[in-house]
Structure 1
Amino acid sequence: MDLYDILIVGGGPIGLACALEAKKNNLNYIVIEKGTVANSLYNYPLYMTFFSTADRLEIDEIPFITTKAKPGRQDALEYYQGIARQKAINIRPYERVLNIKKIDNFEIETSKHTYSAKNVIIATGFYDIPNRMDIPGEDLPKVKHYYTEPYPYAFQDVVVIGSSNSSVDAALEIYRKGGNVTMIIRNSDISPNVKYWVRPDIENRIKEGSIKAHFEAELLEVKPHSVIFRTREGKIQEIENDFVMAMTGYLPDFEFLQNIGIDLQGECQNPKYNPESMETNIKGIYLAGVVCGGKDTHLWFIENSRIHAKQIIKDIISKND
């Protein structure tokens, strides 16, 4: 069995950045990705537009060329998958890491093979596990934790949960395709993080009544043909409903992190790592990208975690000197 200098778990933008940095430093590496290259981006809504400009999404100083001021999902997929092809990244798509254990080196068991590596980088993001509401009826087929496009919801009564970018995008797109949209929002206003060019649109649609919104409200139960929620005034209300878009956010795979021995700290289950080297409490296992934030998934983005690749490879090389 080949011994790799580095095995990278996750073939998203930050995993690719780590692979490119390893390659530049002549380290023998492999990337294991459970889906396609940049799998999380692939599962984004089809017409999603990034908040950031293209230059802030670049990795390894490779230009991200687009004619749009703000690139979209397809632009990003072309960019990151193009890098994987052009740079001949050693990546194994559609292969899931099942277990990592330390013997002399690390033994990594996947759904297809077993690998051996001196170091492991975990760059798995947070798009795998929906942040559940834990209410009756959440597992009904009408409840969707992922939104891709509006067309299935035309002429339907749709409840959208939340007021984040994903919630607002879903509400606006479904409304414009003929859906009857009601938003149920825990907070007293639309999230301040909503894209600045979208915020006036959703606020005006709510103001004019085209999209109904219940602020400081809570969904209590989903039934086959209705939903029950508590209003700001504390009243229990039931409305007819065909679909629920539960845009409640997503979480890293904490069970996977715990099973390989990474310490998770506090209520937000923040993984323990050295912020200079990105090495965890397990010597030789590093974290990169969004997974570093635990439940605080708003802390890390492509833009501010690209640097992790250089930090990690620098630390690995220093140990070899």
Structure 2
Amino acid sequence: MLDILIIGGGPIGLACGLAAQKAGLSFVIIEKGCLVNSLYNYPSTMTFFSTSEKLEIGGVPFVTVHNKPTRNDALEYYRRVALSNHLPINLFEEVTNVTTENGTYTITTSKATYQAKRVILSTGFYDIAVNLDIPGEDLPKVKHYYQDPHFYTLQKVVVVGSSNSAIDVALETYRKGAEVTLVIRGGEVSNRVKYWVRPDIINRIKEGSIKAYFNSNLQAVRPHEVDIQTSEGLVTIPNDYVMAMTGYQPNFDFLKKLGIVLSEDKFIPQYNPETMETNLPGLYLAGVVCGGLDTHLWFIENSRIHANMIINDIVNKR
């Protein structure tokens, strides 16, 4: 029987593994995708807002040439941390059920069954996109994930959203030759946009290189056009692709299935902020999954501390 089973092989799951290893606890990390799967699915051109030292885990230095690390820098760093510390990680193995009886957790996956005294859930929120719930959203031309701008050269692209992901998509596809239209629900570009990027998008909108509809919503998508409800009425424009950068959310159904209590408004899971233990004894939360629908609450930078909080609590209870 394991001391701990960690669900999720992202940066915080790895941090939990490093802390468990240092404490001499037996553990396995289960990840349904590749190593740091969410980061792998980030845009290939992405640059982090944070500096590299704020992304470090387990006391292992994250050395980069530039002040702001890129996606590729992060993939290299976390891979080296995992391999050099010989962390026991099972990849491409999805957890399907977790049950508890007499203080023991039984974890069933797509490949095996495990038993552990404790479970740490560090599954993030990047797997489930927030839908627009409009006609035509199921068309293949509508994308909730973005990898590379080259694909959209000479295409008419509508980007929905005003946060970092939406603005990055708009600027990068525009610079690869796409005709870009931004649809923004509010009256301005979000203040959360990276400080070195926000002036760029504002200037592109002012000069007319990128068309922006503020106080507007995408109403419908059809194979070759879209409808936009603007403050001045309904506008229909030709369109090849829709990039719905509307955010993502944790797998709330999985949390409920486990028996974790969620708040009624933002589905924030119940946990002790000093130990990260949920309403289920021995089941802990770590990382951005703790924020429920408020996905701007937790990041790698401020949730790295969850690893030591959890492991310290487990050790103390032993």
Q: In the TM superposition, what are the counterparts of 1:148-159 in structure 2 within 5 Å?
A: 148-159=147-158
What residue number does 1:221 align with? Answer: 220
What residue number does 1:232 align with? Answer: 231
Letter in 1 for 2:119: V
Letter in 1 for 2:110: S
Letter in 2 for 1:25: A
Partners of 1:88 and 1:166 in 2: CA distance: 33
Q: For residue 28 of structure 2, give the secondary structure of its aligned residue in structure 1.
A: strand
What residue number does 1:192 align with? Answer: 191
Partners of 1:223 and 1:173 in 2: CA distance: 24
What residue number does 2:54 align with? Answer: 56
The CA deviation at 1:203 is 0.5
Partners of 1:292 and 1:109 in 2: CA distance: 23
Q: For residue 80 of structure 1, give the secondary structure of its aligned residue in structure 2.
A: helix
Letter in 2 for 1:7: L
What residue number does 1:136 align with? Answer: 135
Q: For residue 65 of structure 2, give the secondary structure of its aligned residue in structure 1.
A: coil
- 1:173-199 deviation digits (Å, cap 9, x = unpaired): 000010000000001110101000111
Letter in 2 for 1:133: L
Letter in 2 for 1:164: S
Q: 2:294 aligns with which of 291, 296, 304?
A: 296
TM-score between the two structures when normalised by the length of structure 2: 0.99
5+ residue gaps, structure 1, are: none
- 1:184-237 deviation digits (Å, cap 9, x = unpaired): 00011101010001111100000000000000001111011100011023x011
Letter in 2 for 1:68: H
Partners of 1:103 and 1:113 in 2: CA distance: 18
Q: 1:280 aligns with which of 278, 303, 311?
A: 278
Partners of 1:232 and 1:108 in 2: CA distance: 51
Partners of 1:187 and 1:34 in 2: CA distance: 36
What residue number does 1:74 align with? Answer: 72
The CA deviation at 1:266 is 2.2
What residue number does 2:261 align with? Answer: 263
Aligned residue pairs, count? 317
Partners of 2:7 and 2:312 in 1: CA distance: 18
Q: For residue 220 of structure 2, give the secondary structure of its aligned residue in structure 1.
A: strand
Partners of 2:202 and 2:264 in 1: CA distance: 36
What residue number does 1:245 align with? Answer: 243
What residue number does 1:6 align with? Answer: 4
Partners of 1:46 and 1:15 in 2: CA distance: 22
The CA deviation at 1:88 is 0.3
5+ residue gaps, structure 2, are: none
Partners of 1:93 and 1:70 in 2: CA distance: 28
- 1:267-320 deviation digits (Å, cap 9, x = unpaired): 210000000000000000000000000000000000000000010001111110
What residue number does 2:118 align with? Answer: 119
Q: In the TM superposition, what are the counterparts of 1:81-120 in structure 2 within 5 Å?
A: 81-104=79-102, 105-120=104-119
Q: 1:317 aligns with which of 305, 315, 318?
A: 315
Identity across the alignment (%): 60
Partners of 1:191 and 1:82 in 2: CA distance: 35
What residue number does 1:26 align with? Answer: 24
Partners of 1:269 and 1:102 in 2: CA distance: 23
Superposition RMSD in Å: 0.5
Letter in 2 for 1:58: E
Partners of 1:82 and 1:155 in 2: CA distance: 39
TM-score between the two structures when normalised by the length of structure 1: 0.98
Partners of 1:253 and 1:288 in 2: CA distance: 14
* Runs ≥4 residues deviating over 6 A: none
What residue number does 1:175 align with? Answer: 174
- 1:95-143 deviation digits (Å, cap 9, x = unpaired): 0000100023000000000000000000000000000011110010000
Partners of 1:236 and 1:182 in 2: CA distance: 15
Letter in 2 for 1:44: Y
Partners of 2:63 and 2:169 in 1: CA distance: 27
Letter in 1 for 2:174: Y
Partners of 1:8 and 1:187 in 2: CA distance: 39
